[in-house]
Structures are given as structure tokens and as C-alpha cells.
Amino acid sequence: MKSGLKIIHWIVFLWLLLVIIRYELIIDYLSLIFSYISLLFTDTSSALTILSFNFVDASLSTLLFLLIVPLTLYFGKRFRFITGMLNFSFGFLIMLGFIFLFAPIITNENPEFSKNLSVTKLLPPLSTVYEFELKSDIDNNLSDAEFFLKESEEVIKPPFNDNIILADSFRLSDKVIYYQKNEANEIEKESLISKTGIPVIKTKLYLIGTDEFGRDLFARLIFGTRISITVGLGAVILSFIIGIILGFIAGYRGGLLDVLLNRFAEIFLAFPVIYLVVLILALFGSSIFSVIIVLGISGWMSLFKIVKSEVLSIKKKDFFSTAELVGLSKIKLLSREILPVIIVPVLVNMVFLFSNVVLAEAALSYLGLGTGSSYPSWGSMISSGQEYITKAWWLIAFPGLGLILTLFTFNSSGRMLGKVLNPRLRK
Amino acid sequence: MKSDIVKTLVIRFLSSVLTLFLLVSFLFIIIRLSPGDPTDKYISAKLGSELSERIAEKFSLNQPMTEQYLSFVSNVFRGDMGVSYNFRLPVFEVIWEYFSFTLVFASISFILQMSLSIWLALYVIKKRKKWLNKFVTNSSLFIYSIPAFVLGVSLIYIFSVTFNLFPISGLRSLDYDDLSNLFQVLDKLHHLVLPLITLTAAGIALFYKYIKESMDDVLNQTFVINLRASGVHENIILRKHVIPNALRPLISVAGVELGILLGGALISEVIFSLPGMGRLTVDSIFSRDYPLVIGCVFTAGTVMILANFLADIIKLKIDKRLVKGILN
């Protein structure tokens, strides 16, 4: 596919798209960061206590977002990858990276926000509702920290907000009458936030619909992507560390330890890992960390085998014995002499491992053993969507599609990498 | 040569038993490490300390750990895995009932996977169309990337909810008992269509990848060119020379896959709520039915190890050069 499009063009395109769509949000985030910094100078202790994960997340994302273009331009010269040709897999891979890094910029809806269930429950994609915002009591003697919190809630939305009313339709007379599923309610114009005397009524768009609790599916999908990728990365890195170290020990030392480790790897390989994972998670309880650890531990065998066989052959090479005789420590031998030689097959294996882990995490969440209900995850979204399968196809279609495309991307890029390595398949 | 093969098989068998033994030990350790112990179900705060101690004694919890471990291992290997809390039946009987279903279900799926993937690979190679090759390769990768539960749920949506062609779940219709024998079988098959597709699709894609790659490998070797040059018919080359040589990597994968299938197709059995090993395991784990959990995991492991062992024997049968290679 010689389209002439390079990967860097795609990165810049996605970046520009986000800038154009979300420039208001980015400016809001920036002003929030500045007011936080000024708060840090005036009132350090309370500034530190009100620091929340969401705020740190959003501000880091924003800063990284601003830096990404100079960074790619700078590092682009070093990595040939960035000027490579664009194809579907790489394009989707980069999109996933964008979602992972810049989730708070892509959507600032809270994935847990649910209000006025009768209006928002199970809305199909591209439906809109009207959003009224009540005036909150204005307190003039707010401290700086409280003022900052109030300001930040405007941008980083909390999961609960009593001041927002969602409605199907409305009528303006001397009062505002709004309808929620044939039920009419009225409120005073004065109680709404207004601009030059006219109450502000926004329309709220649900891009891919809502779920059974009236939560925005798009926001859940975006943040669910993050969870899946975090679990995948964490587990793969853990497998990498275990596999490399055990493989090095087995290959380098040999002897009884080698035999034992081999048997051990054999057990893990000779067993449907998903059973062990389900068993361990059910016995010890499941959280995002235990999922990462269990999946990481259950995936080290293939890496172990690769590293061991490579170490066995490297051990006899001249450059390695020289390095040994110079007196390098074991860690340096591993990181400087062995890792650079075996990094490519290891990398291919890790790509496949990543797709396995993402799949396993989704399957676990589907069974109700995943990262828990506090985080939206693709698997749990599908499993809760299955109950509404007759009414709401979008609950399953979008997370399912995301999962399929992610797995496909990783499988096919792993295969592409593998082809580069295996000259017999290349023609 | 013959004694070599016997020796290899014996060593291979012993290592399988060792693996099984390690698996059982591993299970024991996990169960003992997990919070709570089997007496929790019977002991409450209202019981006096004397009574609860007596219950602990009944469960041999006051004996030293090594003693507990030894009796656990010997019981498991004798097939005595206790009584299931939920079914109030010996674990062995419960598992046997569910395993017979899984055996049929998995075997059908396995045969479908093998035959369809080999047929597809042969078809693509015979046609010699570049676009066809590319299309099948890419679509098999795509199908392989569809998680079983996404495929299953979408199939339910398309065929059961929208078109109402197949039942959503279960193995029997409501009027099952009134049907004649033939229709009972047909009814069961009707219920099994969607689960079979769910279970089989990914396997076909996986096997296709392996068989196609190794066939391409063999086709590029000189003896095939030699055969072609001597005017042997293409069909005979494929059937007599390429397939037997290409089967080897497939058999090792098939052993693993068969083990996984027989151990219970966890996800598809859960989606379609079929009475198989996979769902039994999940249910027993969630209801904390420990004897049944141990039984299920032990069965799955045994089946898996057995399937690998079988695959090795078949490989030996096909290719005698492998006598040394298998032990590694």
C-alpha cells in the first residue's frame, strides 16, 4: 500500500483534529493549571490536599499534548519508524496511543456521570438531550482553594452534579417548562444560569448512545480503552521482566536450576492458563493490580523459552566470552551484551503477548472477574450490554468493535514484524 | 531404534506424571494460601471454641501441613475428591456428567477445525491466486482477532434476536421430552449450531495460519521442485509429499488446542449456558465449591497433559527423526 502518506502525517493530522475540536477545553485546562500554580504559591498546604487524580491526569495530558509535536519533530530524525509508510495497523495503533495518552482531552464527560435516568436510559447513537444548569448559591467569602475547586468542577466534571437537569424537550414562556418522558416540570427562569437575560440551554450529544444507567458510552469507551491498554502494558512488562531474568539464569547457569525452570515452564504451558487465572482471581479477589500481576505471571513462558535458547547460543560467541573476561557484572552482561541481540524476537513475542493479555482481560471482565466495576472496561461493558441485547445493539457493537480492531492491529503488526525476521517467508 | 522410541515414550510419560503431580501441589498451595479455610462454611461466631475446634479436627486442619499435603495428593490421584457442596454428589460423578457433554461438543468442534482449515489451505494453494491468498490470510487474521464472547453475542443478536433462527441458550427446547428420538438429536444439534460456530471460528483461523505457513515452507524446498520437474502430478505432490511434511507443526498446536477444548470451552459455554466443563468450573469457583473447583481444574489439567502426550505420539508415528527432539 504505497499511499505516500507517512506515519508522521497521521500523527499531525490527529493532533490538529483534536486541537480544532477541543480548543476550548484545552484552554480551560491550561487556565486551570495556571490557577493551580498560583494557588500553590499563595496557599501551599491546601493546594496539596485538593490535588485529585483526575486533575493531575488532565494536566499531564494537556502538557504532553502541547509537547507532542515538537517531540515527534525532534525524535523523528532518530526513529525511522515515524517516517515510515502509513498502513491501517499502524494508523490504528497510533490512534490507540492518542486515546491512551489524551483521554481527558478527547472527552471531558465523566464516564460514571448519570442523571435523570428516565431521559437518558439506553439512548441510541447520535441522540441529543437538552441540558439545563441551575444557578448554584454564590458564596462570596470562598477561600482560594475552594474557589479553585469550584472552577475545576466546571471543566473536570464530577460523577455527581445536582445542578444539571436533562430533558427531552422544553418550552419557553414566562417560566421554563421541560418534559421528561411525558412528565412536565417547570422552573423559574431566574434559577437557571443565564446570559444577558436569556437562560442558557445546551444540547448534549451522545455520540454512540448511552448505557442502562444513562452514562455516556463514548466517554466509557475512551476511558475503557485506557484501562485495557494499562492492563496490557503492565502485564506484558511484568512477563518481560520475569521471562528475561529466568531465561538468562536458566541459559547462563544451566544445571539443575535449568531443569527445574524448564519443568515449571512446562506446567504453565501444559495448562489452560485461563482456568488458573480465574481460580486465583476468584480466590484472592480481583482488582486492577491483581489482574495485571496474575496475567503477567501467566505469560512469561514463551519469552523464557526464547531467551533461554538465545542465551545458550550467545554464550559460546567470542564477544560474549570477552565481555565475561573483562569482568562485567551479570546485570551488565544481560543488558548490554544479550538484550541488544535478542530484542527483535523478544519484541515480536511481546506484541503477540499484548494482544493475548488484552483478550484475557476482556474475557475476565466479561466473566465478572476483571478490573472491578469501578472502572469501565471493554469486557464488562459487553457483559452488561448482553442483558439489553434485544433493545440496545450499540452497547455491544462499539466495545466489541474496539476490541476486535485492537486485537487485529496487534496480531497483524506482530506478524509484519515476524515477517521481517523470518527470511523464508519473505518472497 | 525401537528401544529408543520406547525409552522416549517412557520418559515422556514420566514427565507428564511429574507435571500432573506439580499441578496438584500447586493447587494445594493456592487453596491453602487463599484467605479463609474450608471450615468457614460451618463455623460461626455463635459456636463455642470447643465445637469449632472439633470441626477443624474433622477437616484434619490441626495436623501438620506435610500430612495434609500428602493425604490431599494421594486422595486426588485415587480419584477421591470429596463431595460437592452444591450438588451434594461425589465430585467425580458431577464431573463425569458434565465432561461427557464437553467431550462431544469439543470433538465435533475439533474435527471441524482440522478438516476445514486443511481444506481451505489446500484450496488456496491449488487456486494460485494472489488476491485470494491475501484475502484469506487477512480475513483469517481478522477472525482470529474476534474474541469468543464478542462473536457469540453478535451471533445471538443476528441469528436469535433479529432473525429468530436459532435458540438463544441452553441445550434443549421446552418440549424436548415429547419429541421422538430422532427429533431429540436434531433439537440438540439445532441448539449447538451457534456455540459450535463461536468455538470453531478462531480455531480454523489459527490452524489455517500454521498449516498454510508450513505448506509454503515445504513447497519452497528443493525436493518439491524436483518432483515437479520429474512430471509428478500436482495433486499427488500435494497429497503425498506436502501434507505429511507440513503436518508436524500443526500437530503440536492441535494437541494444545484439543486440550483446551476438552478442558472446557469456558467462554462459549458461559455465553450459551451449556452444561459443560467450562461453565461448571466458573460456577463452582463463583459459588466457592472448593472440592468441585479442585476436581475441575485437575480434570482440565489432566486432559490437557494427555492431549499433549497423544500429539507427541502421533508426531513420532509420522516422523521417526523426532525421537530425540520430543524430550526437549
What CA–CA distance (Å, rounded) separates B45 from B170? 41
- Nearest by CB: B157 against A267, A276, A396: A396
Q: Which residues of B touch A264 (CB under 8 A)?
A: 22
Q: How far is CA B27 from CA A180, B70, B73, B158, B297, in A?
A: 55, 13, 10, 41, 8
* Tens-digit pLDDT profile for residues B80-119: 777 887 788 888 888 988 888 888 888 999 999 999 999 9
Tell me the shortest Cα–Cα distance from B150 to chain A, in angstroms: 6
Distance from CA of A320 to the nearest CA of B (A): 25
Strand partners, A201: A132
Q: How far apart are CA A350 and CA A57, in angstroms?
A: 27
CA distance A406 to chain B (A): 8
Are B220 and A424 in contact (CB < 8 Å)? yes
User: Which of B145, B209, B224, B305 is the best mutation test for A, with the most CBs of A within 10 A?
Assistant: B145
CB contact under 8 A, A283 and B34: yes
Nearest to A411 among B15, B141, B217 (CB): B141
SS3 B150: helix
CB contact under 8 A, B267 and A393: no
The answer to which of A80-84, A219-223, A240-244, B171-175 has the lowest mean pLDDT is: A80-84
CB < 8 Å to B18, chain A: 263
Using a CB-CB cut-off of 8 Å, the residues of chain A touching B210 are: none
Note whether A280 contacts B146, CB cutoff 8 Å: no
Residue B264 has a CB neighbour count (10 Å cut-off) of 31
Distance from the A353 Cα atom to the nearest Cα atom in chain B, whole angstroms? 13
Burial class (CB in 10 A: 0-12, 13-18, 19+), A337: middle
Residue-level pLDDT at A82: 66
Distance, CA of A374 to CA of A129 (rounded, Å): 26
**d(C-alpha A317, C-alpha A217), whole Å:** 56
**Chain-chain contact of A355 with B145 (C-beta, under 8 angstroms):** yes
Q: Which residues of A touch B286 (CB under 8 A)?
A: 282, 368
User: Three-state SS across B14-71?
Assistant: HHHHHHHHHHHHHHHHHHHHCCCCHHHHCCCCCCCHHHHHHHHHHCCCCCCHHHHHHH
pLDDT score for A427: 44
Q: Inform me whether the pLDDT recorded for B328 exceeds 60.
A: no
Query: What pLDDT is recorded for position A265?
Result: 82
Pairing of strands A164-167, A127-133: antiparallel
Tell which of B32, B150, B215 to mutate to test the A interface (max A CBs under 10 Å): B150
Is the pLDDT at A235 greater than 90, yes or no?
A: yes
Q: How far is A331 from chain B (nearest CA, A)?
A: 28
Check B150 against A272: CB less than 8 A apart. no
User: B180 to chain A nearest CA, in Å?
Assistant: 32
Tell me how close the Cα of A159 comes to any Cα of chain B, in angstroms: 29
Decide if A396 and B150 are in contact by the 8 Å CB cutoff: yes
Partners of A385 in beta bridges: none
pLDDT, tens only, B262-305:
766 788 888 888 888 888 888 888 787 778 888 888 888 888 88
Q: Please state, for a pLDDT cut of 90, what percent of chain A lies above it.
A: 13
Positive or negative CA dihedral for A333, A331, A306, A230? negative
Please tell me which of the candidates B154, B282, B305 has its beta carbon nearest to residue A400: B154
For the segment A162-176, what is each residue's pLDDT rounded down to a tens digit?
778 888 888 877 777
Measure the CA–CA gap between B158 and B247, rounded to whole angstroms: 36
- Nearest chain A residue to B220 by CA distance is A424
C-alpha cell of residue A168: 427531552
Closest partner residue to B18 among A263, A272, A283, by Cβ?
A263
Predicted pLDDT at B327: 53
Whether residue A363 and residue B147 make contact (CB cut-off 8 A), yes or no, is yes
**A360 interaction partners in chain B (CB closer than 8 Å):** none
Partner-chain contact B281 A283, CB within 8 Å: no
Residue B315: helix, strand or coil by DSSP?
Answer: helix
pLDDT digits (tens, 9 = 90+) for A354-412: 998 998 888 888 888 777 666 788 888 888 888 888 888 888 899 999 999 999 999 88
Which backbone phi and psi does A233 adopt, to 5 degrees? -60, -45
Chains A & B: contacts with CB separation below 8 Å: 118
Cross-chain CB nearest to A366 (options B149, B213, B301): B149
- A346-365: per-residue pLDDT in tens? 888 899 999 989 988 888 88
Averaged over B147-172, what is the pLDDT?
A: 86
| Mean confidence (pLDDT) of chain B | 82
Tell me the average pLDDT of chain A.
83
Residue of B nearest to A368 (CA): B286
Quick: pLDDT tens for B20-76.
Answer: 888 888 888 887 777 766 666 666 666 677 777 777 776 666 677 788 888 888 888
Q: Which residue has the higher pLDDT, B277 or A134?
A: B277
Q: Find the angle CA(B125)-CA(B130)-CA(B132) to the nearest 5 degrees.
A: 70
Is the CB of residue A166 less than 8 Å from the CB of residue A204?
yes
The CA distance from B142 to the nearest CA of chain A, in Å, is 6
Give CA–CA dist A72/A61, Å, rounded. Answer: 16
Number of H helices, E strands in chain B: 13, 0
- What percentage of chain B exceeds 90 in pLDDT? 9
Measured between beta carbons, the chain B residues lying within 8 angstroms of A382 are 149-150, 153
Q: Do B266 and A396 touch (CB under 8 A)?
A: no
Mutual angle of helices A301-314 and A339-367, in 10-degree steps = 170
The answer to whether the CB atoms of B154 and A266 lie below 8 A apart is: no
- Residue A202 pairs in a beta bridge with A131
For residue B259, what pLDDT is reported?
Answer: 76
Residues of A with CB under 8 A from a CB of B: 263-264, 266-267, 270-272, 274-276, 278-280, 282-284, 355, 359, 362-363, 366-368, 379, 382-383, 385-386, 389-390, 393, 396-397, 400, 403-404, 407-408, 411-412, 415, 424-425
Among B147, B270, B297, beta carbon nearest to A359:
B147
Residue range A139-158: average pLDDT?
77
How far is residue B209's CA from residue B214's CA, in Å, rounded to a whole number? 9
User: What pLDDT shows up at residue A1?
Assistant: 46
Residue A309: per-residue pLDDT = 86
Å between B220 CA and nearest CA of chain A: 9
* Residue in B34, B146, B267 closest to A363 by CB: B267
Q: What is the 3-state secondary structure (H, E, C) of chain A?
A: CCCCCEHHHHHHHHHHHHHHHHHHHHHHHHHHHHHHHHHHHHCHHHHHHCCCHHHHHHHHHHHHHHHHHHHHHHHCCCCHHHHCECCHHHHHHHHHHHHHHHHHHHCCCCCCCCCCHHHHCCCCCCEEEEEEEECCCCCCCCCHHHHHHHHHHHHCCCCCCCCEEEECEEEECCEEEEEECCEEEEEEHHHECEECCEECEEEEEECCCECCCCCEHHHHHHHHHHHHHHHHHHHHHHHHHHHHHHHHHHHHHCHHHHHHHHHHHHHHHCCCHHHHHHHHHHHHCCCHHHHHHHHHHCCCHHHHHHHHHHHHHHCCCHHHHHHHHHCCCHHHHHHHHHHHHHHHHHHHHHHHHHHHHHHHHHHHHHHCCCCCCCCCCHHHHHHHHHHHCCCCCHHHHHHHHHHHHHHHHHHHHHHHHHHHHCCCCCC
Tell me whether residues A400 and B286 touch, CB distance under 8 A: no
